[in-house]
Amino acid sequence: MKNYHMLTMEQKENIKHGESFFPIQKYEAHLPAVCPHITPHWHEESELTRITKGACIYQIDLIDYEVKKDDLIFIPPTLLHAVSLGSHKEFHSETYVFHMNFLGSNATDVCSTKYLTPMLNREFQMPCIFTKEHEAYRSLRKCFNQIATLYENKPFGYELALKSELLQIAFLILQYSQKNALSVSNDASDKLKTVLDYIELHYSEALSVSELAALCYFSEYHFMRFFKKHMNMTCVEYINNLRLEKSVELFEQGNTSILDVSLSVGFKNLSYFHRAFKKKYNMTPLSFIKKL
């Protein structure tokens, strides 16, 4: 069996990418028209992606980038990012998610202290999108192709070669980077991450706008505008969407009591849960359970 995973909308970023001693994992993703968004998320790992088909909008650190087939995307650790189809009809990608520790960011040498740890700590302002017009594109694409071949075929010592290619990518990208300064977008990104973290921990509870606004030191009005601007949905829509995704996870784990699942993810009204579930997945919870 090929060692890669399909990246779906229900996957959460507390998952483990790869193994402890080999923290790199391949993912293939696509956005169908019925679910045209990967909501903003982040993780400690870096991402290296090639668009294999179609086009989409990547939102990275709250900035939108339109990307198309063969473009390369590099997302540094802890950077908030999201994907949406926008006006496009389809999108497919191949992604390698890897932890900077694999490259030696936890070592005590000049490479770690001067380059890798600062990358991990977002001390560099780094380019994220590389099109065919970028002067580093051909070299980066060559590295990406070699990573794909090594990951697929796994010749003896391939882990060494993978590490070498990723270090080469870090070197190439650093040529176009500069020391980072705190910015308004970083502040907004950190506030949004704080709110999303809080929702992830408390989605099953009754959450109020005032409670979430207080995390950002915003008024309720300012917070609602802030959330809608950066998430492209209201706070209530986001919470309900997360609760529905959590309910799917529970059904897939073998929970068959619709009432119990509804209550455990935070829906206190069963009929509302039915309506919301059918609107999102185009089937009732019972129909979903029967399909498993």
Name the 3-class secondary structure at 81: strand
Residue among 262, 260, 254 nearest 278 (CA): 262
pLDDT, averaged across the chain: 88
**pTM value?**
0.74
Question: At residue 175, does pLDDT exceed 80?
Answer: yes
Mean of pLDDT values over 79-84: 90
* Residue 62 neighbours by CB under 8 Å, 6+ apart: 80, 185, 188, 189, 192, 230
Q: Give domain limits for the chain.
A: 5-179, 184-291
Regarding the domain with residue range 184-291, which homologous superfamily does it belong to in the CATH classification?
Homeodomain-like (1.10.10.60)
What is the spatial distance between Cα 251 and Cα 262, in angstroms, rounded to a whole number? 10
pLDDT value at residue 289? 93
Q: Are 244 and 203 in contact (CB under 8 A)?
A: no
Query: DSSP alpha helices (H): ranges in the chain?
Result: 110-111, 117-120, 137-153, 158-174, 184-202, 209-216, 220-231, 235-252, 258-264, 270-281, 285-291
| Predicted local distance difference test score (pLDDT) of residue 277 | 95
Q: CA of 275: how far to CAs of 4, 251, 270, 283, in Å?
A: 35, 17, 9, 9
For domain 5-179, the CATH superfamily is Jelly Rolls (2.60.120.10)
Query: How far apart are alpha carbons 254 and 196 in whole angstroms?
Result: 27
The CB density around residue 68, as the number of other CB atoms within 10 Å, is: 14
In tens, the pLDDT along 99-136 reads 999 998 888 788 988 999 888 888 888 999 999 999 99
Does residue 16 surpass a pLDDT of 70? no
> Helix (H, G, I), strand (E, B), or coil: what is residue 167?
helix
Closest CA to 216 of 197, 201, 232: 197
Mean pLDDT (whole number) for 191-209: 93
Nearest of 48, 57, 76 to residue 145 by alpha carbon: 48
Q: Between residues 192 and 182, which one has the greater pLDDT?
A: 192
Evaluate whether 5-179 and 184-291 have a shared fold.
Answer: no
